[in-house]
Structure 1
């Protein structure tokens, strides 16, 4: 059965509101804390969108330091912090989450394959904005994994109890997260469908990101320190000169490695060659320019390195799942 709760602007969450949930306890360094004291104030949303698929969203001001303890069921948690700092303990493992820095949002994927004690602590007096999409094993097996090409590999990853996977969000995934904080005005009967579609896509993107990272670090493909340093130099050179004509020879020379050696490092680390990586980075920069209305579609096409807008649209939609026009018009 679906359950939901929503805090409107200015809603204040008191100690007694937390304690209404089964098995939840609250502690605070303030010995004078009472049931009527406010812990959070602002917007809060929690809903089971479909059996086994949950959305938790908060945009609140923490007014006091506190620790809440509960029990976490078996689930995959896809976690994104935009503002604020929180420490979480699941079982005997501790996880720290921090708000985005320099507009870069970090994603975290944690799979607990058995029920565990959940302890959440924060220092209070901060703006907290975060999103969690969680999915039960039943939902993942029946619905979530069917969206992935490599279901067997994904199933193996989901058995990795309390592994902490982190990555920087692609522009597409960052856009999905922001859409859930500022959804398009819709008829009430369409809102849940809107949220569910984006939550499903976030789960799929999260598992895909974890799988890509796992493939890069499998077996003997871990890079030696000097190779990792050369690869990072090459990426920095590409980032600085992204809008300039680039060649593998030029990037390799500046990074202090042979062209063939550079191609090898990119294939091991990124799963693609240098030119494919450059195309991807240019597409992502074009996405950001369109999203911020800093470029027209024609200009974004040039940013991405395409002289033919039709070819740009095809490549853009293949990479992001949306057309340039739809991003520009949002």
Structure 2
């Protein structure tokens, strides 16, 4: 197990793009930490940190955290940290509060409180805001949830990694010195992506559990009337929200909460139903039915119609 002096730890932190400064004056040659840390950049904006260490001094140090989501937990040991003004005590063995899951809107301080003899086996994952937006580009529901998460700053969200993730984390912390470099890299990459999916799922479920305000419930009810009557056909979701007196993010969340599907998907279903009725009752041509459903091309309309009703428009007609 490597022993880091004060100077070596500061140099290592600087090489990773960070900075560690001890509050109390300390000689450069003072041994401060025994252990190891591995950093794996899975993608531009996704970084996995694995560490097993033992404090050799008391006191506290601070670093800077970049904007984005940071999730961390202990496999064993204890840690006492603070992000911004929020202090967290993590306990890997007792599992009383084993995790942190925070979003930072902007760079903020990360403080670690040291205690001589204290040990920890820690896993931490950082998801940058730019990476999250790239992954959710085109996903209206996911983007809406991300927007709400990104309004928070340094709040610790409820999250607990499942048993399979804990088992994989334990193996990664145990095998770090022995694993072959290629095998190690592949193990870390797959683990980081699985951990990212678990974190985002936890945030999604937390959002779905949040109750709707009375005002938002009225907005969703009124929107449903507009969609059924066709009044909303020419409106974007932003325009719908503005006319209802809310915002597009909350309107999407409220509608998903009440109907189990996005506004756009529900609207497509309703317009296809109106087209079906026009074909059956009014015997309109297929191209007219396509226009009713909001499709510019009959081929796209026919494919969507068959997926919805199991028969093509021409067969139904």
Aligned partners of 2:86 and 2:154 also within 8 Å = no
CA–CA distance in structure 1, aligned partners of residues 125 and 6 of structure 2: 24
Question: Which of 194, 198, 215 pairs up with 1:201?
Answer: 194
Structure 2 CA distance for partners of 1:101 and 1:152, relative to 1, 3 Å: same
Report what 2:253 is aligned to. Answer: none
CA–CA distance in structure 2, aligned partners of residues 17 and 98 of structure 1: 26
Unaligned runs of 5+ in 2: 214-317
Report what 1:90 is aligned to. Answer: 83
Structure 2 CA distance for partners of 1:119 and 1:73, relative to 1, 3 Å: same
Report what 1:44 is aligned to. Answer: 37
Q: Secondary structure at the match of 1:55?
A: strand
Deviation at 1:54, TM superposition (A): 0.9
Unaligned runs of 5+ in 1: 1-9, 221-330
CA–CA distance in structure 2, aligned partners of residues 25 and 163 of structure 1: 23
TM-score by length of 1: 0.55
Report what 2:22 is aligned to. Answer: 27
Q: Secondary structure at the match of 2:208?
A: helix
Structure 2 CA distance for partners of 1:170 and 1:113, relative to 1, 3 Å: same
Deviation at 1:84, TM superposition (A): 3.3
Report what 1:99 is aligned to. Answer: 91
Q: Deviations over 1:73-132 (max 9, x none)?
A: 1121111123333333333x2221322245688332111011122222222321111110
Aligned partners of 1:85 and 1:122 also within 8 Å = no
Structure 2 CA distance for partners of 1:48 and 1:115, relative to 1, 3 Å: same
Q: How does 1:1-330 map to 2 (within 5 A)?
A: 10-20=1-11, 21=14, 24-27=19-22, 33-91=26-84, 93-102=85-94, 106-143=98-135, 150-182=142-174, 187-219=180-212
CA–CA distance in structure 2, aligned partners of residues 99 and 148 of structure 1: 37
CA–CA distance in structure 2, aligned partners of residues 125 and 18 of structure 1: 17
CA–CA distance in structure 2, aligned partners of residues 18 and 188 of structure 1: 23
Q: Deviations over 1:243-272 (max 9, x none)?
A: xxxxxxxxxxxxxxxxxxxxxxxxxxxxxx
Which of these two proteins has the greater Rg computed from alpha carbons? 2
Q: Deviations over 1:265-290 (max 9, x none)?
A: xxxxxxxxxxxxxxxxxxxxxxxxxx
Give 4+ residue runs of structure 1 displaced > 4 Å after superposition. 102-105, 144-149, 183-187
CA–CA distance in structure 1, aligned partners of residues 67 and 150 of structure 2: 10
Q: How many residues align?
A: 210
Q: Secondary structure at the match of 1:24?
A: coil
Report what 1:301 is aligned to. Answer: none
Deviation at 1:208, TM superposition (A): 0.8
